[in-house]
Amino acid sequence: MADPTATPRSDSSHALRRFLGLYYAYAFLFDFILAYAFYTALFELEGLSFAEIGLLLAFWSATAIMLEMPSGALSDHFDRRWLLVAAPLFKTLTFLFWILAAGSFWLYAAGFMFWSLAQALQSGSREALLYERMEREGRVAQFDKVLGRDNAAEELGIGFGALLGGFVAFYNFDLGLWLSIPPLLLVALLALGLHDGRRGRKGPAADDVVEMPATYLSHFVDAIGEFRRHANLRFVTTYIAVGLVVFELIEEFDQLYFLAVNLPVWAWGIAGALVEFIYAAASIHAYRLAGRPWLAWLLPLLGGGLLVAASVGSSPWYVLLLCLAYVLMAPLGVLAEARFHRVMEGRSRATTTSALVMAENISGIVGTLAFGFLAQWVGILPAYGWAGLVMLPLAVWVAIGQHRGLQAID
């Protein structure tokens, strides 16, 4: 006779689908921001130099570094849901400050500070919540698949926001900033439905409650221990934070690239959306490339070559080469992050994930400053070419690591 107290599998599947629906909606709306289409160009048009824009982006990374691990430990110690509610509310302050800025470097910097806070509150919390839910459902093997859909939802949000934002910016930049706020208010409400499954969670034995660290500071100790014990965790962290981050940081300068190749303002959103839509499709299908660790060095080589090719152009058509470089790198982000979560033990998962994000931001400060001053010195187009050449030593390092038994992707 069936156990009348057992939860039917169909009910569990329905609950998981509902959770994933809310989760993907959160990922989409958190980045459905019209201002993404034009904000660095807005800074230049308001009178900031390339170097000042680079300083702003570096300050963005610096504040993220200070906030990332403390927020990750908060997420591990308290209910992750409340951090996910707070994050979009803080992000709204970014655009309110920018509306008031009118060319003020310091008000733009204040906006970036709140953006960093918002990003820190949701970055480690979101991925940890997703992994723990899949683990609870016994579906860890599908994590790279759902993580790809998570990335796709985020990229689709960016893409649709950029598509609409380009047209709105052609009419009025300030309107684009104002219209970036309503989706964030909606996503704060959606976050109320993302329950933290650790509360009252049982271990493998029915009477074994999963042990949680005793104090807030214990999460930092756990995260440090993870990196000390696992060489593969250090390897994949370096791969993401030093290698793949190059494409993330130069993307912040893309609107300046668009200006340099004379792409019309109304087309910025179309170009940005095209990249994000294809990027989303690549993220969804990234799990199909699992089992090919050699892609961890081959795709960066190809992407770097496309950046070099894009740097010699003076026509808007060269934007297509830049877009293709980003699309090639999309599967690597998903596969590397999935490996990161599989390698770690996960007792303080959000804190350890925040350590990865912090490492990315440290690299971001150095890289953004270097790229900004390089663009000031040699020009924005040649700077993209130099960024592409960085992929050569990265590929060599990954190949050597694989020979020694380390892997950046599964």
Tens digit of pLDDT for each residue in 326-346? 888 888 888 888 888 888 876
**Closest to 351 in 3D by CA, of 222, 195, 194, 214:** 222
Instruction: Using the predicted structure, report yes or no on whether residue 214 has a pLDDT greater than 60.
Output: no
CA atoms within 13 A on the CB side of 207: 0
Pair 228, 10: CB distance under 8 Å:
no
Instruction: Give the pLDDT score at 391.
Output: 92
Say which range, 39-53, 101-115, 193-207, 326-340, has the weakest mean pLDDT. Answer: 193-207
Cα 321 versus chain centre, distance: 22
Write out pLDDT tens, residues 237-275: 999 988 888 888 888 788 888 888 888 877 877 777 777
Say which range, 6-10, 279-283, 339-343, has the weakest mean pLDDT. Answer: 6-10
Instruction: Using the predicted structure, report yes or no on whether residue 93 has a pLDDT greater than 50.
Output: yes
What amino acid occupies position 123? S
Residue that is written with structure tokens 């104090």 in the block: 215
**Which pLDDT band, with edges at 50, 70 and 90, does 2 fall under?**
very low
Say which range, 153-157, 295-299, 354-358, has the weakest mean pLDDT. Answer: 354-358
DSSP 315: S
CA atoms within 13 A on the CB side of 342: 19
Q: How many Å apart are CA 88 and CA 191, to the nearest integer? A: 10
Instruction: Give the pLDDT score at 95.
Output: 95
List Cα–Cα distances, 311 to 177, 262, 317, 325, 383, in angstroms: 30, 14, 12, 12, 7
Identify the bridge partners of residue 202 per DSSP, sorted by sequence position. 209
Instruction: Give the pLDDT score at 9.
Output: 54
Say which range, 82-96, 328-342, 388-402, has the weakest mean pLDDT. Answer: 328-342
**Which pLDDT band, with edges at 50, 70 and 90, does 396 fall under?**
very high
CATH topology of domain 17-198+215-403: Growth Hormone; Chain: A; (1.20.1250)
Helix (H) or strand (E) holding 399: helix 391-403
Write out pLDDT tens, residues 140-198: 778 888 888 888 898 889 888 888 888 898 888 889 999 999 999 999 999 998 887 76
**Which pLDDT band, with edges at 50, 70 and 90, does 204 fall under?**
very low
Say which range, 43-57, 86-100, 390-404, has the weakest mean pLDDT. Answer: 43-57
What is the pLDDT averaged over residues 6-17?
Answer: 68
- Whole-number percent of the chain with pLDDT over 70: 92
**Which pLDDT band, with edges at 50, 70 and 90, does 208 fall under?**
very low
Pair 115, 94: CB distance under 8 Å:
yes
List Cα–Cα distances, 196 to 82, 137, 187, in angstroms: 9, 14, 17
What is the pLDDT averaged over residues 347-371?
Answer: 80
CA atoms within 13 A on the CB side of 282: 21
DSSP 139: -
Helices (H) and strands (E) in the chain — how many of each?
Answer: 18, 0
